[in-house]
Structures are given as structure tokens and as C-alpha cells.
Homo-oligomer: A and B are copies of this chain.
Amino acid sequence: MVAPQKFTEFIDSNADRFIDRLGEAIAIPSISGDASRREDVVKMAVWLEAQLNEYGVKTEKIPLGQQQLEGKTLDLPPAILGRIGNDPKKKTILIYGHFDVQPANKNDGWNTEPFTMHYEKDTGKIFGRGSTDDKGPILGWLNVLDAHSTLGLDLPVNLRFCFEGMEESGSEGLDDLIASEAAKGQQGWFDGVDAVCISDNYWLNTRTPCLTYGLRGIAYYQITLSGPGSDLHSGIYGGAVYEPMTALIALMSKLVTQDGHILIPGVYDGIKPADSEELKKYEELDYSIDDLEGAAGGKIANSSERITVLMGRMRNPSLSLHGIEGAFSGVGCKTVIPAKISGKFSLRLVPPQTPEDITKKVVAYVKSEFAKLNTRLNLEVEYMHGGKPWVADINHWNFEAAKKATEAVYLQTPNYTREGGSIPVTLTFADNLGVNVLLLPMGRADDGAHSTNEKLDVSNFIKGSKLLGTYLYEVAEITQSA
């Protein structure tokens, strides 16, 4: 290990104080989606900025404008941009995190008050809203700064910080801020950034640390079928008219097979099969079909081949049918012929798929299949929203450093994972700064982010703090020796 022993010892010996500090952060109910809690999000920003300043980080709270929420015009909570270190011989790492949280109420099913930290010593679990998403990881960085400041140690790299308070509510204003700071180059807060590190996702399981190097994109569609002027009675019209539901169901049935093969022509164009190196990464993943089915709550894996299932989840495109708007959706029976209905589905994308290209193929295919149905109904195909997929180069020093740090702290080789869902800020940093982005999670798969009884294992918090610091030393080590 290249991190100094006194750093890791400091983290261990100050664990109780760090846990108390996490309790302070959890106690501020910084729910970005609740207008009545906006003051608390701002309070959390002030609290975090003060901590950063105490350890020598220069900061600025950047206003992000206003939003409409629950009929009110509210100031968006500020983002905090920060800087420590300006040594041209050192690499510069940009750290991202968010200090807002999801809503939580005790009577949603929490065993304890969500905004009062509950440290269960016998299980080693720290319960509380935000414990793992994303206050724990942010405080991991504070712990690293605290150790270096208190011990009088120089940081091995220059650090830049970007902390936001709107992640759980669509990161409003953040894309523009990142773009404008990136455009400022050496005059901006992101001057000299060589790589980005984000701790805002989770291990694949409860056992093995991981590095995340890919995210699937998304393209969401709505197919609307119409014909009658209003909903019709199936007794009176059934058998005499073309029914929008019959046509919609036929179209939706032609999008994907039961085992997940997408039927839209050209949708797989350009997707490279996994090479032996990539296949090896999946072989090495500490994740079984039982793990997946346990998390899903049912024996529903679409293959008995572990690697097929893992690749289906992480690196292959997928298509899911979500539902129908405008049809009968209640309990019981209604003999309606719905007049106008919209089927919703989305594709998860992987490189080189883009929402633009996939949209052309979806629209052409749905229209051509609709023509074959030969009805007198009307069709509309709409692209609703989307985002590009992202895959990072895991041979970059940024990932190499994280791997070595993981091995040093956890004595385990990390899993290399790709997330099936999206973390949009990842792509914003990659696109605007043109540097390698590393997702370095702190928490475990069962932490319950967004759910009741959210927790962070104390070992993840303390080892995770060591991991973040050690990662910085490994960055310095690798890039100096290179």
C-alpha cells in the first residue's frame, strides 16, 4: 500500500467521531423534492461548505436559478464547487457527490426515525436517510481531508469538488453549470482536471467491492393508437369496428421476445461482441443467479447461464414494456373499447447505440408493422426522452489506481461492473471534460437507497474512507511511475 500508515490508522482511530459526523449530516432532512424542506437543503450546503473550509478547501456556493415546485417559485439549492491543491506536478481529480436525499417518513415502514441516525452496533449498520445515498460517501471525502489536515499531510493529488443538492430531483441546473465551468478551462473551478471520481452507486452484492465502468443509456417511447371519437361499449361495437387496443397489443407484441431479444431491425448494429478480456470480467464477477433472483424476489432469470444473465443486465441492450395509458386499468371488470391508448416502452442502450439512431429504427419498424395490420386506426409514435450510454476505459490509470486501492484496503480484487440504469451526471462530466470517469461505490447492494431503512455498513463507511484516500495515493503513484 502506498498510502501512509498514519492515514489509515487515523481513519480507524477516529471512526466514532466520523460516525457522529454522519449522524449530524443525516439529521438535516435535505429533501430536494419537498418544497417545505428547501431550507434544509440549503442548511446542508452551509454545513458541508463549513466542513470543507475547515480542512482548507476553498469553496463557492453557486446559485442555480429558480424552479417551480408544488405551485411555488423556489430558489434551487446552490451547488458547492471547491478546490484544494494547485501543484502542476500532481494529477487533479474532480470529486462529485450530492447532499440532498429522497423523502422519508417513519410511517413509510422505517423501524427508526429516518432523520435520526441509528447505529446498530451488533450488526454494524448505520441507519438513516442519506446514510448511503449520498451523505456517507461525501463524508468519506471529508474524513480523508480531515486526516490530512489534522496530521499535516500533503494530499497526493490536487482535488476539485462538485457537490449538488438536486440530484434526487433531476439535477436541475447542474448540466449547465458543468458545461460553463468546463468551458472556462484554467479560469474555472474545474481547472486542470485529469479524471473524475463519483461515489454514488453500489456494489453488485454485499461482499465484493467494485469499480463501475459503464452505464446503459435509455430511449423511451410511446405508441398511441386512436380511432373512435370516445370510449365505446364492447357490447354495442365489439365485432363491428377496429379496436385500438387490439392493434396496440399486436404492435407491442412485436418488439421483444420472451427471452429479451429485441425485434427491431438494425437495433444491434455496431454492438461488438464481448472479447475474451471482457468475458473474463464477467466470469470474475462475484454474483450468482441466486443473488439476482433474491434481489428480484422471484425465480425469473432469463437464462441458466450466469454470464448470459449478467451481460443481459449490464452490457446488452434491453427492451421493457411498461404499461398502457388510457385503457381500463382498475380492479374488476369494465366492458370498454378504449378510444385512445398509449403503449409505453423503453430500450436500454449500449455503445454505439444512440437515442437518435434507435429512434429512427423504432419509428420505421412500428410504422411498418402497423401498416401490415391493415386497420383504419390512427398511429402516432413518440420519442419521449433518452440518454446516451457510457463506457469507460478500465485500463486507464484512474481505474488502475482504484483497483490497487481496493486490493490494498479490502484485500480483494474488485468486480468490474456496468450499471443497467443511468447516472446522467457521469456522461455530463465525460462529455464536457473529456476525461476518464470512475464510479467508485462505497455502499452495498442491500443498502436500500430510496427505500425504507436505508443503511450504510460501518465497515463500508470506514474502509470506504480509507479506500477513497488510498485511491488518491495510487493515482499519484501510478501516474508518477508512468
Residues of A within 8 A of B (CB): 216, 218, 220, 222, 226-230, 232-243, 245-247, 249-250, 252-253, 256-260, 292, 296-302, 309-310, 312-313, 316-325, 327-339, 344, 346, 348, 373-377, 384-385, 419-422
Q: Are B375 and A317 in contact (CB under 8 A)?
A: no
- Which 4 residue pairs spanning A and B have beta carbons closest together? A229-B297, A235-B421, A239-B318, A323-B328
Quote the shortest CB–CB distance from A479 to chain B (angstroms).
33
Q: Are B322 and A324 in contact (CB under 8 A)?
A: no
Cα–Cα, bound, A229→B297 (Å): 4
Q: Are A384 and B240 in contact (CB under 8 A)?
A: no
Quote the shortest CB–CB distance from A226 to chain B (angstroms).
8
Quote the shortest CB–CB distance from A62 to chain B (angstroms).
29
Q: Are A240 and B301 in contact (CB under 8 A)?
A: yes
- From A238, A256, A329, name the one whose CB has the most chain B CB atoms within 10 angstroms: A238
Q: Are A292 and B240 in contact (CB under 8 A)?
A: yes
Cα–Cα, bound, A245→B319 (Å): 11
Least CB separation from A299: chain B residue: B376
Cα–Cα, bound, A260→B246 (Å): 9
Which one of B321, B333, B384 lies within 8 Å of A333 (CB-CB)?
Answer: B384
Which one of B218, B239, B297, B301 lies within 8 Å of A260 (CB-CB)?
Answer: B239
Q: Are A232 and B324 in contact (CB under 8 A)?
A: no
Q: Are A330 and B320 in contact (CB under 8 A)?
A: no
Cα–Cα, bound, A422→B235 (Å): 7
Q: Are B335 and A330 in contact (CB under 8 A)?
A: no
Quote the shortest CB–CB distance from A444 to chain B (angstroms).
15
Cα–Cα, bound, A346→B228 (Å): 19
Q: From known contacts A229-B298, A333-B220, A344-B328, infer whether A320 and B258 are also in contact, taking CB-CB under 8 Å.
A: no
Quote the shortest CB–CB distance from A89 to chain B (angstroms).
41
Least CB separation from A347: chain B residue: B238
Q: Are B335 and A234 in contact (CB under 8 A)?
A: no
Q: Are B298 and A227 in contact (CB under 8 A)?
A: yes
Least CB separation from A344: chain B residue: B328
- Cβ contacts under 8 Å, A240 to chain B: 260, 292, 301-302, 309-310, 312-313, 318, 420
Which one of B247, B335, B346 lies within 8 Å of A218 (CB-CB)?
Answer: B335
Q: Are B318 and A323 in contact (CB under 8 A)?
A: no
Cα–Cα, bound, A422→B236 (Å): 9
Quote the shortest CB–CB distance from A259 to chain B (angstroms).
8
Q: Are B334 and A322 in contact (CB under 8 A)?
A: yes
- Cβ contacts under 8 Å, A252 to chain B: 249, 253
Q: Are A253 and B256 in contact (CB under 8 A)?
A: no
- Cβ contacts under 8 Å, A346 to chain B: 234, 333, 335
Cα–Cα, bound, A310→B237 (Å): 10
Q: From known contacts A374-B258, A420-B236, infer whether A321 and B246 are also in contact, taking CB-CB under 8 Å.
A: yes
Q: Are A298 and B228 in contact (CB under 8 A)?
A: yes
